[in-house]
Structures are given as structure tokens and as C-alpha cells.
Amino acid sequence: MKDTLPLLSVRNLQLVIPTDEGTAKILDRVTFEVAEGEVVGLVGESGCGKSTLIKAILGILPNQAEIVSGEIKFGGLDLLGSATRRTWHAAKDIGFIPQDPFTALNPVFKVGVQMMEILRWSGLPGEPPGYIGGNTRQRHREHLIKMLKAVQIPDPEDAFERYPHQFSGGQRQRILIASALSSRPKLIVADEPTTALDVTTQREILILLRELIEDDKTSMLLVTHDFGVVAQMCDSVSVMYAGQTMENGTAKDIIHTPIHPYTKRLLACHPELSDEIVGIPGTVPSPIFAPPGCRFGPRCTSCRPACSEQRPPLMKPVGGQRDVACVLLDQGVRV
Ligand SMILES: Nc1ncnc2c1ncn2[C@@H]1O[C@H](COP(=O)(O)OP(=O)(O)OP(=O)(O)O)[C@@H](O)[C@H]1O
């Protein structure tokens, strides 16, 4: 999709989890990439496989999950290869901001203790993960207090010694952002980082996050179901439905001229981005009983018999800077 080598590249990733009811085909040839310094939004309804995809990138999949095919490359290295290499990179070069600041911090440990532990296992640039020799602890403490200041936590020295319940939800999310950015990772994976917060705090946190990553040219994979957040934050977007990549493109193209019927329907659910608000009838199918071919077919008003015959490959529409997986494109049908 882009000219330069991507920092993160996920290609044709297929992942299954065996269950008592049958095999859950959770990811079906997911494909997208994140360039250096780029913010990519990963968008889709609940149950589309976003969290599973993040776990695959971070190397924290449940034991029973099986990657059937495909690849995840980070800085050119195969993250699905050696477990040691994967863990090292996930710890050092990929920062993670979780969804819920109310549960992500352990209530019985001081904030500083938890931040120190995370930084110990990621390390500052040039330090191996887990290293605590020399004056590392002192340097980490000073660095983390600076990070708390950068995320606008009042009286950061004092905050370092306080417990999570002594902070508001917005402040806790700022602490988690400070922690995730503390090792100066190349990539931040943020799993709906503001959904647990009120609208005003959401906006403040997103603006702060964007400023912080811009300063260091850090890339970000931002999981969200909210196109308003995409419009505010993202350079590019990957739209997922029921474990399949439907459309990849720049945020501007996807928001203003969506091509895939699913992208169009998803945008039409957002009052701020659509003249006419229309929901999408039906629900995301279970990955155990996913329909054949395009999984959006049963909910798609443009659906044809061909849509259930095979999984449409990602194709580049003429003159377009994006990938779209829809058989109707191949047949020259306006979607
Ligand atoms: N360990 C598991 N065993 C069986 N099925 C699973 C497992 N984990 C996830 N799934 C199923 O995989 C599908 C995708 O789940 P996932 O949590 O990745 O979606 P999501 O897009 O992140 O949803 P949300 O936005 O609600 O977090 C769902 O149907 C879910 O029930």
C-alpha cells in the first residue's frame, strides 16, 4: 500500500481456536500495515477479532490459539518465529495501552512500583530488558517522573507514591500512556484507549496521545469502533469484519469515499460523518459458524451469489491507493 518498508506488516493472517462447539475461525487472512510514524486505525464492530489480532501482535495469544498461515513482521523480523525474539520485541519496542484504566492497574501496588516493573521489562533505549544493574533504578524513577509530568499528572513525584484508586479514570489512563511510552517504543498498540472515559476526557487524552507520539515519531495501531476517533487521530485505516480485512486506505479516502459496502454501512452509523443515520441489520456471525466467502454477505444489500462462493481477495481499485475485498469490484459493479 505504501512505498517505504512498513514497521509492522500483517499478511494473510489466519488464526483458529478449537472450542467444544467446533473450530472458531477467528482471523481469516487479515492483511494491513503500519508505516514508521504512522497512526493506523483498526476499525470494526464488536466481535470482529480486533483484540485477538492485537494479542497475536503482542505474542499473548491463549495457548489453544493456532496460527494456521500468514505472517506478522515487525521491523522486518518475523514475530511468529522464535518465541524469545517475539517476547523481546513485544517487551521493548511495542508499547501497549489497554482499554480499561479502571482494571489495568493493580489496586494494591503504588503507581510508581507498577511503572517501574513495566519499564524494567522493557528498558530504556540501549538497555536490555530486565537489566537492573548500576544506577538503573534511580534513572528509571527519574525518567518515569518526567513521563508523568509529560502526561500532565499534577505533582508527579507525589503521584509516583500513590495508589491507583487515588486517581480519576482519565488520570489513570494518562498513567498507562506514560508507562506504555516510557521505553520509547517504536510502535504503540492502543486497544480502544478512551472508551471507558467521558467524552471531554476522551478528547483530551486523544489530543495528548497524538502530541506525544508525534514528538517521537512513534507509530500507533489504534483499535476503535468509532470513526470520530479515526477522523481525529488516524492517517490510515484498516476496516475488519468478522475476522476478515474488508478495506485498507488513508483515513481521508475511507471516510469521504468508502468503497466496500461494509465500510459504507459502518460510516452510516456515525451521526457526525453521515447525513442519514442507518444501522446495520443483523449481527456479526460467530467465528464457529461464519458464512462462506465474504462474511459480510448475509448483511450486505449488494450481495450476489458470487459473494458466498469464495473469500474475495484484497484488490486495488483502479487509481486507488487502497485495498478492497469485494467480488463486486472485480465484476465492475458499482458498490
Ligand atoms: N479464546 C477464545 N475461544 C473461542 N472464541 C474466542 C476466543 N477469544 C475470542 N473468541 C471469539 O472470537 C471473536 C472475536 O473476538 P475479539 O475479542 O477478538 O473481537 P473484538 O473485535 O476485539 O471485540 P470487542 O470490540 O468486543 O473487544 C468473537 O466471536 C469471540 O467470541
**Whether residue 260 has its Cβ less than 6 Å from ligand 1:** no
The predicted model scores a pTM of 0.91
Are the C-beta atoms of 162 and 111 separated by less than 8 Å?
A: yes
Cα-Cα-Cα-Cα dihedral sign, residues 18, 23, 24, 25 = positive
pLDDT of residue 333: 57
Reference 226, options 204, 260, 199; nearest CA is: 199
**Whether residue 52 has its Cβ less than 6 Å from ligand 1:** yes
Are the C-beta atoms of 13 and 244 separated by less than 8 Å?
A: no
pLDDT of residue 147: 93
User: Which ligand 1 atom is at minimum distance from the Cα of 225?
Assistant: 25
Instruction: Answer yes or no: is the ipTM higher than 0.95.
Output: yes
pLDDT of residue 275: 66
How far apart CA 262 and CA 258 sit, in angstroms, is 9
pLDDT < 70: residue spans in the chain: 1-4, 82-91, 271-277, 318-320, 331-335
Q: What is the pLDDT of residues 287-302, one digit of tens each?
A: 999 999 999 999 999 8
**Ligand 1 midpoint to CA 287 (Å):** 9
- Long-range pairs, 265-272, Cβ under 8 A, ≥24: 265/299, 266/43, 266/44, 266/45, 266/227, 266/239, 267/227, 270/226, 270/227, 270/228, 272/228
Residue among 28, 43, 51 to mutate when testing ligand 1 (max atoms within 8 A of CB): 51
**Whether residue 26 has its Cβ less than 6 Å from ligand 1:** yes
**Whether residue 19 has its Cβ less than 6 Å from ligand 1:** yes
Backbone angles phi, psi at 105, to 5 degrees: -100, 140
Backbone angles phi, psi at 15, to 5 degrees: -135, 135
Averaged pLDDT of the chain: 88
